[in-house]
Amino acid sequence: MYVTATIPMSSPKTWPDTKRMQRKIETIKVIHKVLANGNSILLFPAGKIRTEPKEVVAPYLSGVYEILRAEPNIPVILLRLDGLGKFQFAKYDGFWSFLGLKNGRRHINVDIRPVTDLDPSMSLVEFNIKLEELLNRPIEAAFPNT
């Protein structure tokens, strides 16, 4: 996967509702065009860097939901990072300590798995709860067959 551009989906809460809705409509159009061209989209469902102990997908966030409702056969891959957030265990190898760096390199775990049970026919709130569960489960519980 290579990154060629970003597609802003969110909008400032200070914008009027009509302007925010227009941003959302335009963004969804761009996303569908990108997908139709055979490209991939990397989404951050919560839309921000995690600042809580667990990933939180607000009940009103609808980007992933709307994309899957329009294109239910599109493959979904769940990407989870561990070791970056301030609430995650930080493991350092000490390799660069000879340069005076206190902790050395930080180890980051990346887990990339297909998801087949996100059902866009459920309500938005239920969908986001399911997405939140997938993002917060221990790897063994989220994917028991691996």
Residue-wise pLDDT for 25-73, tens only, equals 898 899 889 888 888 887 766 555 566 778 888 888 888 888 889 888 8
What range does the domain containing 131 cover? 43-142
Structure tokens at 47: 């839309």
Helix (H, G, I), strand (E, B) or coil at 94: coil
Let me know if residue 10 belongs to a domain. Answer: no
Residue 28 placed within a domain: no
Scored b (16 or more CB within 10 A) or e, 13-31 reads eeeeeeeeeebbeebbeeb
CA distance 55 to 64: 15
- Residue 17 makes CB contacts below 8 A (sequence gap 6+) with none
Report yes or no on 116 lying in a domain: yes
How many domains does the chain contain in total?
Answer: 1
Residue 6 belongs to some domain of the structure: no
- pLDDT, position 73: 85
Q: How confident is the model at residue 100 (pLDDT cuts 50, 70, 90)?
A: low
Q: Is residue 35 situated within a structural domain? A: no
- As to burial, measured by CB atoms within 10 angstroms (0-12 exposed, 13-18 middle, 19+ buried), residue 5 is exposed
This prediction's pTM: 0.68
- Residue 58 located in a structural domain: yes
Q: Would you say residue 16 lies in a domain?
A: no
pLDDT reported for residue 142: 46
Contact (Cβ atoms closer than 8 angstroms) between residue 131 and residue 118: yes
Is 1 contained in some domain?
no
